[in-house]
């Protein structure tokens, strides 16, 4: 296949809007190819989108569907020759997730939070999501084994446990959510800061975060730790954010990437002492990001309208439910995590929501290096991912932001600086934030760019960058970004002008990390005891079986050792 004459944006390879042909063969970008030709003359061409933080599969998502038949009733689309029916808006069914990502030009999406114990469920859903490649981050921040190894300052055993946990969950990376808070929630409380003591474990969230970061780098995992801060969603929490980032400054990355990725920073960039004097601290966070280079973040942009909040931060969801009087689901998971789900409507007329909306945009616009900021809505917490075109058009157009601001509470321009931010992102920035940077942050070498050998995941938009001024033509930008002219996944045209043409099964990435046998043996003594005494599931039934990963893409990682001492297969 040859894509002729597109205006290519491929920031990883230093290409910003050059007219080029792209050749594809056997699912990859190649020097030269024959066959079908796609006429993309003058059109915007990018690598397929990569969503590094989205809640698309597993217990929480399905709980959202079950408790929200109101949501499933919207977005209903019938079967077609190739498609299963679609339902839902904030909590779409599996099929809709795949189709809608493909129509947006996204070809990869990572589920952001999976407890090991319920990973089988997550993979059952991932398998049903068509088209896109996927993976799932694994939760470690409230796990008893993690907390005990941290308490014992046994980073080698902790590394062994991460390797074991990633294999057990067929997970991709280390996710940490409100570390220590999930354990405290087991008896109905929470931790209030990173130096608070975690009940029953004699450690602090700071210890957990540092320990996991050290182990993550010891294992040379493709992704860094992926952190949902303590105190998320609370006024004044920007201090916790900066304090936590300071904890990790001295840790050396084992690969060419960040040491920590901060999830949905918007929810952690809050000033004020209560919702009454609530204000943006995005400028402080952006300053910090501009002065330091060990962290990346994703926006967690909030948009007005319906959302479903879902997180492993169970105490937060309880607060959300108390605040909104909305329905509340919770699930505590033995020895590992807790989680919650609460439907939410963000109101344009609510001052707090309007400030939250502005904070996400401020973070993206005030952070100078767009490689440090991924565009997300923390689907479906801030808004469903189908609204990415709205976010893109806001980032690219000051007039659009001004028009929106004019409809908001007058206090928004006092409690945020957004009105004074003139920066408008260009197509290069957008390509970085939606493709190139997420792929680099995750450590997916064949994604997010169009160099020779890259996966032939390509989005062609019905928009001529040379004719369109995104600042003024923001409606056109939003429309064009909502539906690709062509989405190509692994060299196959999967969507054309909003119609799904093919539904290949995507691959599932997971990380297989090797550790010294001696550490694994020491770990298994601990784990055997936990499974004998505390788990309600037997060890032999616990791990996700091969049957649940029909199309695996395994990335090897681990400690560099003499070959004889590597553990290839963990029990």
Partner 1 sequence: MIVHEDVICSFCGCLCDDLTVEVEDNQVKRVKHSCRLGASKLMGHDRIKTPMIRQNGELTEVSYQEAYDKAAEILLRAKHPLLYGWASTVCEAQKKGILLAEEVGGILDSTATVCHGPSVIGIEEKGLAGATLGQVKNRADLLVFWGCNPAEAHPRHTLRYSSNVCGKFTSEGRKCKKVIVVDVRETRTSKNADKFIRLKPGSDYEVISALRMILSGKAEILPDEIGGVSKAELISLVELLKSAKFGALFFGLGVTHSRGRYKNIDNALSLIAELNAQTKFIIQPMRGHYNVAGIGQVAAWETGFPMAIDFSRGMPYFNPGETAACDVLARQDTDAALVIAADPASNFPRSVVEYLAKIPVIQIDPHENPTTFLADVVIPSAVAGIEAEGTAYRMDGMSLRVKKIVESSYPSDEEVVHNIIASVRRLRSNVIVEGGT
Diameter over CA atoms, the chain: 67
**Least distance (Å) from partner 1 to the CB of residue 526?**
14
Of residues 102 through 121, those in contact with partner 1 by CB under 8 A are 117-118, 120-121
DSSP symbol at 447: S
Q: Does 14 bind partner 1 (CB under 8 A)?
A: no
**Least distance (Å) from partner 1 to the CB of residue 504?**
18
Q: Where are the alpha helices (DSSP H) in 367-467?
A: 388-396, 398-405, 412-415, 427-431, 437-442
With CB under 8 A, what is the number of residues at the site for partner 1?
A: 61
Token code pair at residue 571: 């029990």
Q: Does 503 bind partner 1 (CB under 8 A)?
A: no
d(CA 506, CA 101): 12
Token code pair at residue 392: 């893109």
Q: Does 545 bind partner 1 (CB under 8 A)?
A: yes
Q: Does 536 bind partner 1 (CB under 8 A)?
A: yes
Q: Does 550 bind partner 1 (CB under 8 A)?
A: no
Nearer to partner 1, 265 or 338 (CB): 338
Contact with partner 1 (CB under 8 A) among 35, 69, 453, 552: 69
Q: Write down the residue that tokens 């080029």 correspond to.
A: 20
**Least distance (Å) from partner 1 to the CB of residue 332?**
4
d(CA 337, CA 314): 9
Q: Which range touches partner 1 (CB under 8 A), out of 16-24, 47-55, 331-339, 501-509?
A: 331-339
d(CA 99, CA 71): 18
- Report the DSSP beta bridge partners of residue 51: 109
Contact with partner 1 (CB under 8 A) among 12, 54, 72, 190: 72
Token code pair at residue 10: 């491929």
The 452-491 contact track toward partner 1, x by CB under 8 A, reads ----------------------------------------
Q: Which range touches partner 1 (CB under 8 A), out of 168-176, 184-192, 224-232, 407-415?
A: 184-192
Closest by alpha carbon to 268, among 175, 379, 370, 359?
Answer: 359
Answer whether 448's CB lies under 8 Å from 50's CB: yes
DSSP symbol at 252: P
Phi, psi angle pair for 217, to nearest 5°: -75, -30
Phi, psi angle pair for 374, to nearest 5°: -95, 140
Q: Does 125 bind partner 1 (CB under 8 A)?
A: yes
Answer whether 71's CB lies under 8 Å from 91's CB: yes
**Least distance (Å) from partner 1 to the CB of residue 548?**
8
**Least distance (Å) from partner 1 to the CB of residue 79?**
6
d(CA 174, CA 166): 8
Token code pair at residue 561: 């050792």
Contact with partner 1 (CB under 8 A) among 16, 275, 288, 328: 328
C-alpha distance from residue 296 to each of 246, 265, 469, 550, 557 (Å): 13, 10, 29, 32, 21
Contact with partner 1 (CB under 8 A) among 25, 77, 196, 462: 77
Of residues 341 through 370, those in contact with partner 1 by CB under 8 A are 341-342
Nearer to partner 1, 452 or 537 (CB): 537
**Least distance (Å) from partner 1 to the CB of residue 364?**
32
Q: Does 499 bind partner 1 (CB under 8 A)?
A: no
Question: Which residues make up the interface to partner 1 (CB under 8 A)?
Answer: 57, 59, 61-62, 65-69, 71-73, 76-79, 84-88, 91-95, 117-118, 120-121, 124-125, 128, 186-188, 200, 318, 321-322, 327-335, 341-342, 533-538, 540-541, 545, 547
């Amino acid at each position: 296949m040859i894509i002729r004459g597109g205006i290519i944006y491929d920031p990883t390879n230093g290409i910003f809007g050059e007219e080029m042909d792209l050749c594809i063969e056997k699912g990859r970008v190649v020097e030269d190819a024959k066959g079908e030709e796609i006429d993309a003359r003058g059109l915007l061409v990018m690598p397929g989108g990569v969503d590094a933080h989205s809640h698309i599969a597993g217990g929480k998502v399905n709980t959202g569907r079950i408790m929200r038949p109101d949501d499933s009733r919207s977005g209903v689309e019938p079967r077609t020759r190739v498609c299963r029916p679609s339902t839902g808006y904030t909590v779409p069914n599996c099929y809709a997730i795949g189709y809608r990502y493909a129509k947006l030009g996204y070809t990869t999406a990572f589920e952001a939070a999976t407890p090991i114990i319920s990973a089988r469920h997550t993979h059952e859903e991932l398998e049903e999501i068509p088209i896109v490649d996927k993976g799932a981050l694994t939760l470690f921040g409230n796990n008893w084994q993690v907390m005990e190894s941290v308490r014992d300052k046994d980073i080698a055993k902790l590394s062994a446990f991460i390797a074991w946990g990633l294999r057990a969950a067929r997970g991709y990376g280390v996710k940490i959510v409100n570390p220590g808070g999930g354990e405290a929630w087991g008896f109905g409380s929470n931790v209030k800061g990173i130096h608070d003591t975690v009940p029953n474990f004699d450690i602090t969230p700071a210890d957990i975060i540092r320990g996991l970061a050290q182990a993550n780098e010891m294992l040379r995992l493709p992704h860094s730790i992926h952190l949902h801060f303590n105190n998320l969603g609370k006024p004044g929490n920007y201090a916790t954010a900066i304090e936590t980032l300071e904890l990790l400054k001295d840790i050396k990355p084992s690969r060419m990437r960040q040491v920590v990725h901060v999830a949905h920073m918007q929810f952690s960039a809050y000033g004020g002492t209560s919702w009454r004097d609530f204000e943006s601290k995005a400028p402080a966070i952006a300053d910090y990001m501009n002065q330091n280079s060990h962290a990346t973040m994703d926006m967690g942009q909030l948009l007005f309208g319906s959302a479903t909040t879902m997180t492993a931060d169970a105490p937060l969801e309880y607060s959300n439910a108390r605040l909104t009087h909305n329905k509340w689901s919770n699930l505590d998971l033995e020895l590992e995590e807790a989680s919650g789900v609460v439907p939410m409507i963000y109101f344009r007329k609510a001052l707090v929501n309007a400030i939250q909306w502005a904070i996400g945009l401020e973070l993206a616009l005030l952070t100078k290096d767009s490689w440090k900021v991924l565009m997300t809505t923390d689907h479906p917490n801030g808004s469903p991912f189908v609204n990415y075109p709205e976010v893109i058009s806001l980032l690219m157009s000051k007039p659009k932001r001004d028009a929106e601001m004019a409809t908001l509470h007058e206090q928004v321009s006092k409690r945020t600086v957004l009105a004074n931010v003139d920066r408008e992102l260009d197509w290069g920035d957008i390509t970085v934030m939606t493709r190139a940077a997420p792929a680099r942050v995750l450590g997916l070498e064949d994604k997010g760019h169009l160099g020779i050998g890259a996966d032939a995941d390509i989005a062609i938009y019905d928009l001529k960058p040379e004719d369109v001024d995104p600042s003024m033509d923001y409606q056109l930008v939003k429309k064009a970004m909502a539906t690709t002219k062509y989405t190509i996944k692994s060299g196959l045209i999967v969507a054309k002008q909003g119609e799904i043409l093919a539904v290949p099964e995507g691959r599932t990435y997971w990380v297989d990390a090797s550790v010294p046998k001696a550490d694994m043996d020491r770990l298994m003594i601990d784990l055997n005891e936990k499974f004998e005494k505390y788990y309600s599931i037997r060890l032999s039934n616990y791990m996700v079986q091969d049957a649940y990963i029909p199309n695996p893409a395994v990335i090897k990682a681990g400690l560099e050792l003499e070959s004889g001492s590597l553990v290839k297969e963990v029990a």
